Amino acid sequence: MKTERQEIICNCCKKIIQKKSRIPDTEFLHVEKEWGYFSEKDGEIQEFDVCETCYDEWVKSFQIPVKTIEVTELV
C-alpha cells in the first residue's frame, strides 16, 4: 500500500520529520505493529514515527542498551 508521500510528524515531539512530497533526506524510526491474539489489542494495527532525537532519548531509557552493528558500506 504505497500512497503519495505524506508529511511525517514525530509522534513524540510533534516535529515535522519529513515535509510532504519531498525527497526523503531524514532518518527516522517507523514502527508498525499488528497486534495479535495474545495481546489485549487483538486485531489492531498501531503505527508511529519517531525522529532521531526522540529515538536517542527513548533508547537511553532502556534497561538493556540497543545492539549496535557497524555496517561497512560498499560503495
Which residues are near Zn ion by CB under 5 A? 10, 12-13, 15, 51, 54
Q: How far is the CB of 8 from Zn ion (least distance, A)?
A: 11
Q: How far is the CB of 34 from Zn ion (least distance, A)?
A: 24
**Which ranges of the chain would DSSP assign to H, the alpha helix?**
52-60
Which residue, 5 or 15, is less far from Zn ion as judged by CB? 15
Sign of torsion, CA 63 27 13 5?
negative
Quote the cell numbers at residue 35.
497486534
Which residue, 13 or 59, is less far from Zn ion as judged by CB? 13
